[in-house]
Amino acid sequence: MSTTTDKTSARDHDVQVMPERRDLHFLPPADRISDWHVAGPNVTQFMNALSLLFPAGERMFIDAVRAYRDDIPDPDLKKAATAFIGQEAMHSREHIEYNELMAQAGLPAHKLDKFVWDLLDVIKKNTPKSTPLAATIALEHYTALMGDMLLRHPEQLAGSQEDYERMWRWHALEEVEHKAVAYDVYEKCIGRGPRNWLERSGAMIVATGIFWPVVFSFYWQMSRADPKCRAEGWRGHLKVLDFTVGRQGYLRRLVPEFLGYFKYSFHPWQQNNAHLLAELDALVDDAETAYATHH
């Protein structure tokens, strides 16, 4: 991670972070796939449901940025775009392996994963070239906010099975590290005028209307298929509500920063949380040591 200054812009988001592709393996233990989270099986399946969105989602992000990579005028941003593609490819590879553990445990992972691929295919085939990139910057705002929340509130995962915890922290860190890349590609290659504001805001409204129903429907289907969740009954669902929108409210608390996206002058680095990335080197060491020890 290195910090440079974008001299072409006089805006207040001048902190620029250069992301770096890290080829890490996590291989979390298969026998904990349905109860790795400290808060129990239901929160585990909620996080697992999120993981099911990544392979198809990250493929869309990669394709959307790659479609404009040759048009990027600024060499630093081109380099960042390449690193962005590399990071998302690594996330996808690790989440495919993780999601496979769900399938092996008898959970409907393949069916739900296929639903996302089909859905994003329909969007890609029926919209102009800029739409997938607009959708990407909208969803990257979500991954950046959720990553930031996870890093600023380590109690969200503390005490969970450590390989799962480490994998989620790695993903959160890299989502923060590359949070502005797709956004900058959009601004540099497509524009930053009123029409672009309308497109990115519209994409956020549509993405929000699709994303959360899909996440909660996936959670529901996963929890119905998991004997541990069925044994928890309604108490288990209440734990997920507490975790997301209730007392803990890790999603509820994202609302103010989420709304910042609709400001005309929005830029992801207006929230400068780059200090969180100081943890990256230690996490990489831990992940490499754990992988070498277990395998």
Q: What share of the chain is helix, strand, coil (3-state, %, to 5)?
A: 75, 5, 25
Q: Nearest distance from residue 243's CB to Fe ion, in Å?
A: 21
Closer residue to Fe ion (CB): 146 or 225? 146
Q: For residues 291 and 214, what is the distance between their CA atoms, to the nearest angstrom?
A: 33
How far apart are CB 103 and Fe ion at their closest, in Å?
21
Residue 265 neighbours by CB distance under 10 Å:
11
CB-nearer residue toward Fe ion: 65 or 189: 65
Q: Which two tokens stand for residue 179?
A: 């949070």
> Cβ of 165: how many Cβ atoms within 10 Å?
21
Report the run of H or E that residue 133 belongs to, with start and end. helix 130-152
Contact 83, 21 (CB under 8 A): yes
- Smallest distance from Fe ion to CB 256, Å: 21
- Return the amino acid letter for 218: F
Closer residue to Fe ion (CB): 145 or 229? 145
Q: Smallest distance, Å, CB 194 to Fe ion?
A: 27
Return the number of the residue (88 or 187) whose C-beta is nearest Fe ion.
88
Residue (163 or 175) nearer to Fe ion, CB: 175
- Report CA-CA distances (Å) from 244 to 24, 35, 40, 74, 238: 29, 18, 14, 39, 10
- Tell me how far apart the alpha carbons of residues 205 and 192 are, in angstroms, rounded to a whole number: 18
Least distance to Fe ion from the beta carbon of 65, Å?
Answer: 10
Q: Is the dihedral of CA 144, 148, 154, 156 positive or negative?
A: negative
Give 23 or 293: the residue with its C-beta nearer to Fe ion. 23
Question: SS3 of 16, please?
Answer: strand
Residue whose Cβ sits closest to Fe ion:
91
Least distance to Fe ion from the beta carbon of 119, Å?
18
Binding site for Fe ion (CB under 5 A): 88, 91, 143, 175
User: How far apart are CB 133 and Fe ion at their closest, in Å?
Assistant: 13
Instruction: List phi, psi (to 5°) of 142.
Output: -65, -50
User: Which residue, 45 or 92, has its beta carbon nearer to Fe ion?
Assistant: 92
Buried b / exposed e over 240-261, threshold 16 CB at 10 Å, is beebbeeebebbeebeeeeeeb
